[in-house]
A and B are shown apart, each in its own frame.
Chain A
Amino acid sequence: MAQRTRTERADRIRHLLETEGEAIHAHASASNARRYETYGATDDLEALRTEARSIKEDAIGRLPDLIETVREAVEANGGTVYLADDAADANAYVADVVESRTDANGTTEDGDTPSVVKSKSMTTEEIDLNEGLETEGIAVTETDLGEWVLQVADDTPSHIVGPAMHISRPEIADLFNERFDPDEPFETAEELTRFARDHLGEHIREADVGITGANFVVADSGTITLITNEGNARKCAVTPDTHVAIAGVEKLIPTLSDLEPFVDIIAKSATGQPISQYVTMLSPPTDSPTLDFDSPDEPITGDDDGAADGSGAADGTGDPDREFHLVLLDNGRMNMREDDQLRETLYCIRCGACSNSCANFQSVGGHGFGGETYSGGIATGWEAGVHGQESAAEFNDLCTGCSRCVDACPVKIDIPWINTVVRDRVNRSGESESYDFLVDGLTPDEETGGIDLGKRFFGNIGTVAKAASATAPVSNWLADVGPVRRLLERTLGIDHRRDLPSFQRESLVDWFEGRGGFATSKRRAAEPRVQRGGAAVSSRRAERAGTRDGDTGLDREVVLYPDVYTNYVDVDRGKAAVRTLEALGVPVRVPDLPESGRAALSQGMIATADRQASRLYAALAEDLDAGRDVVVIEPSDLAAVHREYERLLPEGSVERLRTNSYEICEYVYGLLENGADPSALSTGDGAEPVAYHSHCQQRTLDLEAPTVAVLERCGYAPETSSAECCGMAGSFGYKREYYELSMDVGERLASEVEGAETVVASGTSCGDQLETLLDREVPHPIELLAPGGYRA
Chain B
Amino acid sequence: MTVDTVGRFERALEGLEVGLERVAAADATERIETIVAEPAVGSPLPFDGVSLPGEVTTEPTTAELEAARTGVTPVGFAIAEYGSVAVESTADGAEPISLYPERHVAVVAASDVVPDLSAGFDRLADGFDRGRDSVVFATGRSATADMGDLVHGVHGPGDVRVIVLEDR
Q: Which residues of A contact B (CB under 8 A)?
A: 27, 143-146, 149, 162, 164, 168-170, 172, 188-190, 192-193, 196-197, 200-201, 204-205, 221, 223, 229-232, 234-235, 238-239, 256-257, 259-260, 263-264, 274-284, 286-289, 291-293, 295-301, 307-316, 319
Contact = CB atoms under 8 A, between A and B. Distances in A.
B140 to A, nearest CB: 6
Interface of B: 43-44, 59-63, 65-66, 82, 84, 88-96, 99-100, 117-118, 121, 124-125, 128, 130-151, 153-157
A260 B145 CA distance: 26
A149 B144 CA distance: 13
A145 B143 CA distance: 11
A681 to B, nearest CB: 46
A192 B148 contact: yes
A197 B95 contact: no
Contact of B138 (A168, A259, A278, A292): A278
Given A223-B133, A229-B143, A260-B118, A278 B60 contact: no
A247 B95 CA distance: 23
Given A256-B121, A260-B121, A296-B62, A172 B95 contact: no
A281 B136 contact: yes
B137 A291 contact: no
Contacts of B149: 169, 188-190
Contact of A301 (B92, B125, B132): B92
B135 A312 contact: no
B134 A281 contact: yes
Contact of A314 (B131, B136, B137): B131
B159 to A, nearest CB: 13
A391 to B, nearest CB: 26
B61 A298 contact: yes
A291 B92 contact: no
A300 B62 contact: yes
B143 A277 contact: yes
Contact of A308 (B91, B131, B143): B91
Give the one of A235, A284, A292 with max B CB within 10 A.
A235
B142 A310 contact: no
Contacts of B157: 231
11 contacts: A193-B153, A229-B154, A231-B156, A277-B140, A281-B133, A288-B96, A296-B66, A299-B59, A301-B91, A310-B44, A316-B133
Contacts of A298: 61-62
Nearest to A233: B155
A467 B161 CA distance: 73
Contacts of A263: 117, 137
Contacts of A278: 136-139, 142, 156
Contact of B43 (A196, A205, A281, A310): A310
B128 A256 contact: yes
Contact of A287 (B44, B63, B91, B121): B91
A311 B89 CA distance: 10
Give the one of B82, B140, B147 with max A CB within 10 A.
B147
Contacts of B100: 235
A310 B96 contact: no
Given A230-B142, A277-B156, A301-B59, A307 B91 contact: yes
A235 B154 CA distance: 11
Contact of A145 (B66, B99, B144): B144
A416 to B, nearest CB: 29
A79 to B, nearest CB: 12
Contacts of B96: 238-239, 288-289, 291, 300
B91 A288 contact: yes
A297 B144 contact: no
B92 A189 contact: no
Contact of A257 (B125, B141, B151): B125
Nearest to A146: B146
A297 B132 CA distance: 28
A143 B155 CA distance: 9
Give the one of A200, A260, A281 with max B CB within 10 A.
A281
Nearest to B134: A286
A230 B156 contact: yes
Contact of A172 (B84, B140, B147): B147
Contacts of B137: 263, 275, 278-281
Nearest to B118: A260
B62 A292 contact: yes
Nearest to B62: A293
Contacts of A282: 89, 134
Given A256-B125, A260-B117, A231 B142 contact: yes
9 residue pairs, one from A and one from B, having the closest CB atoms: A169-B148, A231-B156, A314-B131, A189-B149, A296-B63, A145-B146, A283-B133, A231-B155, A146-B146
B130 A314 contact: yes
A172 B150 CA distance: 15
A756 B66 CA distance: 60
A300 B131 contact: no
